[in-house]
Amino acid sequence: MHDIRAIRENPAAFDANLARRGADPVSSSILSLDEQRRAAIHAAETAQAEQNKASKEVGKAKASGDETEFERLRALVAEKKAEVAEMQARAKDLDAQLAGILMTLPNLLHGDVPNGADETDNVEIRRWGTPRGFDFQPKEHFEIDGVKPGMDFETAAKLSGSRFVVLSSGIARLHRALAQFMLDTHITDHGLAETWTPVLVREDMMLGTGQLPKFGEDSYQTTNGWWLVPTAEVTLTNIVNGLTVDEDYLPRRYVAHTQCFRSEAGSAGKDTAGMLRQHQFEKVEMVSVTHPDRSMEEHERMTRCAEAILEKLGLPYRTVVLCSGDIGFGAIKTHDIEVWLPGQDTYREISSVSVCGDFQARRMNARFRPAGGGKPEFVHTLNGSGLAVGRCLIAVLENGQQADGSVDLPQALHPWLGSKTRLLADGTLA
């Protein structure tokens, strides 16, 4: 959500920033609606004042016995009352129109975001690890012999359709161990507060974090109006929805492991093989709520939290800054972390860490009281995957695969696997 006052003060800068995303200029239409809305509010206030004045005079005319003046004033009161109602209704309608437009506009970009058209223009800022050399042709995760017994797409298709999977035996345990490892690392090493939240939310919660109204087709809605969360960003961020907290409440740093649901409406035919892109998946999500002065610093800290998971697992990765044509709707700046997948011979996204400024806070009306006094201000919000569990499973399997169909598992996971160190070619852990 945007601050209408900022648009009034510098409409050209507003349009120029949106143009970096490829959006058309909109400030003139917004300001036209805003001017009409303010004119209607002023007209309602003027008519209300005239109504109040006439109401006071009615009694005097009645007391003086001036019946003609009494009737004139009484008619004037009725006229002004109707005018007030009409102008208030018009102002309310224009306000709804204005809010509707503002709710569909993406966030303004931070000055550090590079210009670009798509993901090919993202800018790499660092790499970690060296991709392993193989003396055989590495396979994609679903082709590895030890993986096949525990990753069943046919049964999932029978149960639910395409883009679902049934995990079992060693693969299911490895998947669970990864989530537990991530949670425990974030809690113990990074100081995040473990949180468990619902996966069904009310519509205004989806509005608060920007999934609605523009991206409704990307999520699932139940017949009674709940929405299935696309990520725990929705629930964790909305913890502060409608609140005004003290400054010393900040920062709040949350982490949650949840099921996530996405319709993948815009990705037909993309990544259909394996479990890279599923309708139902799991993520360990990080959310921070911060003071505005410290949100960019927090962005770097959150990125390091996600990178640390990959480093502990020994998985090579690269971190990129998303360009203006690839960044998400609600972000002012985003780091994507891409893990190396030898089966595809490329890096693939495993985490997006975004700072949203006050964009979500305005939609949620989430504020803080400055410690030194003064008017409450909007908080800043951030979110990021720490990590996508399924994609991390893919990376562990592909990077650890052996020529005999087994998989060597990262040492960091051994305590969460009952000291098991390998996935054997028959799908069992040993």
Task: Give me the CATH number covering residue 84.
Answer: 1.10.287.40
176 is in an annotated binding site: no
For 150, the 3-state DSSP assignment is helix
203 is in an annotated binding site: no
Q: How does residue 161 score in pLDDT terms, banded at 50, 70 and 90?
A: very high
Pair (131, 37) in one structural domain? no
231 is in an annotated binding site: yes
Residue 399 clears pLDDT 70, i.e. is over it: yes
Residue 269 clears pLDDT 70, i.e. is over it: no
What's the pLDDT score for residue 59? 73
Q: How does residue 267 score in pLDDT terms, banded at 50, 70 and 90?
A: low
Alpha helices by DSSP H, listed for 65-121, are: 67-104
Residue 231 clears pLDDT 80, i.e. is over it: yes
124 belongs to a structural domain? yes
CB 113 within 8 A of CB 316: no
What distance in Å separates the CA atoms of residue 272 and residue 164, rounded to the nearest whole number? 10
Among the three residues 104, 132, 158, which one is the final residue of a domain in this structure?
104
> In the chain, what is the straight-line distance between the N-terminal and C-terminal CA atoms, in Å?
52
354 is in an annotated binding site: no
Pair (139, 61) in one structural domain? no
Among the three residues 60, 78, 104, which one is the final residue of a domain in this structure?
104
350 is in an annotated binding site: yes
CATH of the domain at 403: 3.30.930.10
247 is in an annotated binding site: no
Pair (193, 286) in one structural domain? yes
46 is in an annotated binding site: no
Give whole-number Cα distances, 408 to 130, 185, 316, 370, 428, in Å.
Answer: 17, 21, 16, 52, 12
Pair (324, 233) in one structural domain? yes
Pair (81, 133) in one structural domain? no
253 is in an annotated binding site: no
429 belongs to a structural domain? no
For 132, the 3-state DSSP assignment is coil
Residue 244 clears pLDDT 90, i.e. is over it: yes
The residue range of the domain holding 181 is: 119-423
Pair (123, 272) in one structural domain? yes
Percent of the chain's residues with pLDDT above 70: 99
The average confidence (pLDDT) of the chain is 95
What is the residue-wise DSSP string for 155-201?
HHHHHH-SS--EE-HHHHHHHHHHHHHHHHHHHHTT--EE----SEE
Pair (138, 35) in one structural domain? no
Pair (381, 305) in one structural domain? yes
378 belongs to a structural domain? yes
What's the pLDDT score for residue 179? 98
Q: Average pLDDT for residues 87-116, to the nearest whole number?
A: 96
What's the pLDDT score for residue 266? 64
Q: How does residue 217 score in pLDDT terms, banded at 50, 70 and 90?
A: very high
Residue 221: which H helix or E strand, with range? Answer: strand 220-221
Q: Average pLDDT for residues 288-311, to the nearest whole number?
A: 98
425 is in an annotated binding site: no
How many domains are there within the chain?
2
267 is in an annotated binding site: no
71 is in an annotated binding site: no
For 37, the 3-state DSSP assignment is helix
Pair (84, 133) in one structural domain? no
Residue 117 clears pLDDT 80, i.e. is over it: yes
351 is in an annotated binding site: yes
109 belongs to a structural domain? no
CB 243 within 8 A of CB 361: no
Q: Average pLDDT for residues 365-391, to the nearest whole number?
A: 97
Q: How does residue 264 score in pLDDT terms, banded at 50, 70 and 90?
A: confident
DSSP designation for 231:
S
Pair (8, 31) in one structural domain? yes
3-state DSSP: the chain helix, strand, coil percent, rounded to 5?
45, 20, 35
Pair (262, 296) in one structural domain? yes
304 is in an annotated binding site: no
Pair (16, 155) in one structural domain? no
Q: Which of 70-84, 213-227, 304-318, 391-405 has the lowest mean pLDDT?
A: 70-84
